Structure formats: C-alpha cells, structure tokens
Amino acid sequence: MSPVVLGGAAPSDVTVIIPGGPGPLPWLAEAWRTRRIALMLARRSLKARYRQTWLGAGWAILQPLLLMVVYWGIFGRLLGVPTGGDIPYPVFAFTGLVLWQFFSRALTDASASILHQAHFVTKVYFPRVHMPLASLMVAAVDAAAGLVCLVVLLAVFQIWPQARWLLLLGPLALLLVTGAGAALFLSALVLRFRDVGHLLPLTTQVLMVAAPVIYPARMIPGALGTLYRLNPMVTVIEGARAALLGTPAPDALPAAVSVVLALGLLFLGLRLVRRTEPAMADLI
C-alpha cells in the first residue's frame, strides 16, 4: 500500500491507502516493510498473557513439565512404552511436548488471532498477516523457554551437548514453516466458517495422538507407518530426537515429502489470507 494525497491537500490532511500493485509480491513486500507491527502485537500479547501472574513466563515451562510427569507415570512406568536404547522416558516425552506445544498454539491461538482482534481489523489498516504471525512469535517465545528447560533436563540425565545438536536447526525450521502455514490458513478459514474454530480444540487433541509426542514413530508399522511419516510434525519430532538424543533419524523420502507438504501449506495459507483480506471487516 502507498499513501496518495487528494486534491492538493497537505499529507497531514487527507491520506488514502491504495493497493501497491497486483500480484503477491507487492503484498509480501508491504508485509516485510511493516514487520515491526507484528513485533508490537507480539509484545502486547506477551504482556497481556502473563500480567498479574506469579510465575509469568514460567507457565510456558510448567505446563509441558506437568504433562511429562503424567505421561511418564502412565506410558513410561505403567505401559513401558519403548524410547529406543537407554533414553530416559522423561527426556523423550518432554522433547515432543515442547515442540508440540508450539504447533498446538498455531492451531488454536494463532488461528483465532484475526477474529479475536476485530477492533484492529475494522478501524485501522495494516497487513493482516501480521496478526497470526504475532501469535506465532508469542508461541515461539514459550517454545524457546521450553527448549532451555529441555537442555537443563538433558543435563540432569547426563546427556551432554554433541556436534549433532546442530542438526536441531532443521526440525526447528520445519516446525516454524508448518506452524506458520497452519496458522495463516486457519486464521482466514475461521473467518468464513466459525465452526472450524469450535472444532480446533478437539482436532488438536486428536492430532497430538496421531503424532509421536509420547511414543516413537516406529511403533506404527507397514504401509500405515509410511503414510503416517508424511506428517510434517512426525519429521519435526523424530528429527529433533535424533539430533538431541541420538535416536534413529526419519526416513529420507517421507521426510522430504513432509517438507514439501509443509511448504505447500505455507503457500496456501499466504494465498488464502491475501484473498480474504479485502473482505475481513465484513466477515467479522
């Protein structure tokens, strides 16, 4: 978008915002120029989330820790779910929970970000893509705190840093792409179909069971296991465990397909937000 002055008036008098040009590139360029808006929205959300709380950002660590203790008792002790080698189950489960927590926020908080900030949409213009991306930034801050706690947990179980830890950057990059694609796609879809927002909490719980958060992916055998490994979150979680814990790495072909699917989801999310943007005020 670019400001245009009408009728010889001074810029401080009248400013009309018009599209910067057809096609996705001007839209993406404008979003990049105004990226500080996303940072401002993320900072605002962080302050609102942890205002008047005793633990503040500590809740981002406490939640997966408590879940880890519960799953350790049920799946680690009672059911004896294998982790591969001599890897302690608490470390195995906490790795999956920290990564899944980020993706679940993309499915719930970020997907509703535009709808829940209708006062911005109807009163002021800025690229709407910043709203789900700001929610992702908040989720990323929580995930970073969880990863720091994970490093401490690894030290407790005497698992020390190794060169392969650098490979963690790959799964984290795929996690960001997958989360951004899901957040953008669903944030636009929720505006048109409100039922989607009601289904998301249940969908998130089902998808958690369908991802190797609390069990290894190799427990799903045969053709079903091959299809199962096309899920980008399977590649993310199994890749992160391979980097940190030395478990078997994801199979190359399903992992490559999952990366392509994640990139396709990101492209569809950006496209849907761009196509929905002119009508968002009316849809809200």
Looking at the structure of the chain, the number of domains it has is 2
- Is 7 found in the same domain as 116? no
The pLDDT score that the predictor gives to residue 62 is 82
Q: Is 117 helix (H, G, I), strand (E, B) or coil?
A: coil
Least confident of 82-86, 196-200, 202-206, 213-217: 82-86
- Is the predicted pLDDT of residue 8 greater than 60, yes or no? no
86-92 long-range contacts, Cβ below 8 Å, gap at least 24?
87/245, 87/246, 87/247, 88/157, 90/153, 90/157, 91/150, 91/153, 91/154, 91/157, 91/159, 91/245, 92/216, 92/241, 92/245
Residue-level pLDDT at 180: 94
Q: In terms of domains, do 246 and 130 share one?
A: yes
Query: Tokens representing 224?
Result: 């079903």
Q: 14 or 72: which carries more pLDDT confidence?
A: 72
**Lowest-confidence region among 14-18, 55-59, 206-210, 240-244:** 14-18
In 3-state terms, what secondary structure has residue 17?
strand
At CB < 8 A and 24+ separation, what contacts does 227-233 make?
229/254, 229/255, 229/258, 230/254, 230/257, 230/258, 230/261, 231/258, 232/174, 232/177, 232/178, 232/258, 232/259, 232/261, 232/262, 232/265, 233/99, 233/100, 233/103, 233/175, 233/178, 233/207
**Collapsing DSSP states into helix, strand and coil, what is residue 13?**
coil
Based on the fold, state whether residues 96 and 4 are members of the same structural domain: no
Residue 22 is predicted with a pLDDT of 56
- DSSP secondary structure letter of residue 2: E
Residue 18 pLDDT > 70: no
Three-state DSSP class for residue 252: helix
How far out from the chain centre does Cα 281 lie?
Answer: 25
Encode pLDDT of 225-282 as tens digits. Answer: 889 999 999 999 999 999 999 898 998 999 999 999 999 999 999 999 988 888 887 7
12 and 98 in one domain? no
Q: Are residues 18 and 139 in the same domain?
A: no
Give the list of residues 6+ apart from residue 281 with CB closer than 8 angstroms, or none. Answer: 121, 122
Question: How would residue 4 be classed by pLDDT, with cut points 50, 70 and 90?
Answer: very low
CA distances from 154 to 29, 82, 113, 245 (A): 42, 18, 34, 9
Mean pLDDT, residues 144-159 taken together = 91
Same domain, 15 and 76: no
Mean pLDDT, the chain, integer:
85
Answer yes or no: do 42 and 14 share one domain: no
Residue indicated by tokens 């994801």: 250
Helix (H) or strand (E) holding 4: strand 2-4
Are 146 and 15 in a shared domain?
no
Q: Specify whether 22 is located in the same domain as 114.
A: no
- The lowest-confidence range among 24-28, 49-53, 153-157, 166-170 is 49-53
Q: Within this chain, do residues 4 and 46 fall inside the same structural domain, yes or no?
A: no
pLDDT of 161 over the 90 cut: no
Q: Tell me the torsion sign for CA atoms 206, 268, 262, 130.
A: negative
Q: Which domain holds residue 22?
A: 1-26
User: What is the Cα–Cα distance from 52 to 48, expressed in whole angstroms?
Assistant: 9
One domain for residues 118 and 145: yes
Tell which wins on pLDDT, 120 or 209.
209
Q: What would the pLDDT profile of 25-78 be if each residue is shown by its tens digit?
A: 777 888 888 889 889 988 888 887 777 666 666 777 788 888 888 988 888 888
Q: What is the C-alpha separation between 179 and 91, in angstroms, rounded?
A: 23
Beta bridge partners of 3: 17
Same domain, 117 and 238: yes
